[in-house]
Chain A
Amino acid sequence: MDLDYGEELEGFRADVSSFLKREWPLAGDEAKLSLGEQARLFRTRAIEEGHLCRNIPKQYGGSEQEPDVLKAQIIREEFAKAHAPTEPRGIGTMMLVPTLLERGEEWQKEQFVPDTIRGKTQWCQGYSEPGSGSDLASLKTKGELVGDEWVINGQKIWTSGAKTADYMFCLTRTEPEAGKHAGISYLLIDMKQPGIDVRPLRQMTGGADFCEVFFSDAKTPKDWIVGKRGEGWQVSRTTLKHERNSIGSAQQTRAILAGLVQLARESKINGKSALEDPQTRQRLAIIEGYVRAHQYSGYRTLTKDAKGESPGVITLMNKLISTNIGHEIAKLSLDLLGDEGLLGAGGGMETMGRSGQWISQYMYSLGIAVAGGTANIQRNVIGERGLGLPRDSAAERSSNA
């Protein structure tokens, strides 16, 4: 066991760090550009240097580096330290780009990948529907081929970023006669067209990050399909195998925990600092146990990835672990806020004072618990894929249909 990166990798770290000192933040006239412009400019340089988009071929705008999870981790650490932009965080880079690289046509990769990884085009994901949540394959949004175009009718929901997205990747029922899963195609759709109506959904926090999307004869060209007709379900599963490492989230959580200790220091219980309250001290230490276990698990996963070995069942657990920790942090923060827990969240994270941020976090932790598969769905995944328990019989029947 050795927690150092070793001489060669520390040399690499020094290179990354001096690149960042040179290139970020931007100086002179470039510093006057909009934040988005600055980030795009910087990303282009970081890609040329080989630091970003490492697994994306050069012909599609990536830097095409040898896979190396340790170098990737060092880059993440150094970029985070310098507050420098990394790959755009959206669903486009995380989900669409890997899917296109594996299943897309040549022209699709050329047309969509370079602008997406530089943050020039934004994507949203058209999966969930009002009647299709965990039973996603029951989706009904219809795509009909009329001449050279798909004509789309139906509704998507919980679509994050639909207001600002340029395009959607959308699961659409194009083969109504085929089976449940075999009737679905993966279509790319231009969001800026008259047949699409986007209505923001107001969240319990007061903010509105996700939307309903209504299609009334929306159109997309015949060849804006990834995979063949009826292969959409498989295509959408492509990214599932790219499980995410937990290190980033554990480090964030440690920062939140430090904030929580500070909140306890400033809050009063019976006229004394809450940090002196034995129960508060216990609860903070309990949370720390979970957070640190999560963090070291991340180190282990990183090592396993670097060796090309499977880290095992832990990769299926990271979301539920983060959710559980988020709940505990949220509950303690509300207790510490006392009276201030009567206040609303305010709406936007940036404009809020101390209480607003914690109250918002109190509610957002539930959003995280629900988004991308509720905690109970995660438990099914852990139980079935991780522990080898039998599949739910209703789901079994349906997927055989």
Chain B
Amino acid sequence: MNFDLSEEQVMLQETVKQYLENECPPNKLREIFDGDVGLDEGLWRGLAEMGVAGLHLPEEYGGAGLEMLDLAIVSEVVGYMAAPGPFIGHALAGLAIALGGSEAQKQKWLPKLATGDALATVAFGEEGGAWLPDQWTLPRGKQLSGSKSYVIFADHADVIVVGTQGGGLSLVERGAAGLEIKPVDGADRTRRLCHLSFADTPCEELPDGDAAAPRVRDAGLVLLAADAFGGATRLVEMSVEYAKTREQFGVTIGHFQALKHQLADMAVEVEPARGLYWYAAHALDHVQDEAERTAAVAKAHITDRYMQVARDAVEAHGGIGFTWECDVQIWFKRAMLDRAYLGTPAVHRERAAVMAGW
């Protein structure tokens, strides 16, 4: 019985965190958040050089061959640091190709994705909150015509894994004919969103895409849960820190029970969730019959906790918490993305209910 991270895993988390602390300090984060692009090539390249881009990809294609838990604990750190960039879309696209691609597709894309020389993302969402493989309606074929919504950093991607009708997956390359990418004014400026439209756009189907899609969905749910845990943890820390420094009535406001209790409640909402996302990630590789449902429960639970803690953190900071200047808003908006991307908590709770036979 060992329900804990290994020394290597702890070191992986520390290394990524250290890198982000050095390379993406608050002023840099702010600059990227406020900037036009939202993606800092250098920052992403550095992460890729550490192996983050191909952590979970097979070793034979240049990846590190690690497990979903390893990817998830990196996602936690990314969430904790609110690191701007394409991590989640890139990770899911790589997984989709690794699981569903032909040998030629894997040869072509995985080595470049593992080194970060190529950037990938996934286009799953459709109008009306249709995020899940069985809800996709974009007709499949040798060409795509239709649209996809809320695609992270599609405007920077070399290849996009597109979800198609009945739960298939197809590859669309940068600059493909008829592909139009329109940036969306998303709340979370660390993960910029785009709408895609296709008009007879050439694509390449992943032969085992139908089998891969649910696994990619579940991985996505777990990575969002992990990101949410990291972000929520950080918001608790920021709020506690503020309560220890801000003074009113001659004492730090952390003396006051109303605030102390609110902070304790925030911590109690967040801290136990660590084990839930760990288990959900572990289950994807090791407990097949529980994996799908646990991923749904983890995503629903932890992204909901993140959003609530983000609201509490704004309150705990008082007036300053409501300003654009206060960093809390950056995590607040990441919470909004984690919560809605790939389906809201209510959607995944209902799925969990169905899977339990309720």
A-side interface residues toward B, CB under 8 Å? 1-6, 9, 70, 73, 261, 264, 275, 278, 281-282, 284-286, 288-290, 292-300, 302-304, 306-307, 312-314, 317, 320-321, 324, 376, 378-380, 382-384, 386-393
Contacts and interface: CB of A to CB of B under 8 A. Distances in A.
Contact of A389 (B69, B254, B346): B254
B271 A314 contact: yes
Interface string B165-191: 000000000000000000000000000
A286 B349 contact: yes
Nearest to B240: A387
11 contacts: A70-B1, A278-B350, A281-B349, A289-B301, A293-B272, A293-B273, A297-B275, A317-B267, A384-B260, A386-B267, A389-B240
Contacts, number: 161
B320 interface: no
B271 A1 contact: no
A393 B257 CA distance: 10
Nearest to B254: A389
Interface in B259-310: 260-261, 263-265, 267-268, 271-276, 278-279, 282, 286-287, 294, 297-298, 300-302, 304
Contact of B261 (A295, A379, A391): A379
B251 A285 contact: no
Nearest to B3: A299
Nearest to B69: A1
Contact of B1 (A5, A383, A384): A5
Contacts of B243: 389
Interface residues on B, range: 35 or more
Contact of B260 (A289, A296, A383): A383
A291 B286 CA distance: 21
B326 interface: no
Contacts of A387: 236, 240, 263-264, 267
Nearest to B287: A3
A317 B278 contact: no
Given A290-B301, A383-B263, A390 B254 contact: yes
Contact of A324 (B2, B240, B268): B268
A281 to B, nearest CB: 4
Contacts of B244: 388-390
A282 B349 contact: yes
Nearest to A381: B264
Contacts of A378: 264
Contacts of A299: 1, 3, 275, 279
Given A2-B1, A282-B350, 13 more contacts: A1-B6, A264-B358, A281-B358, A282-B353, A285-B300, A286-B301, A289-B297, A296-B278, A300-B274, A303-B1, A317-B271, A389-B260, A390-B244
B299 to A, nearest CB: 10
B343 to A, nearest CB: 13
A285 B353 contact: yes
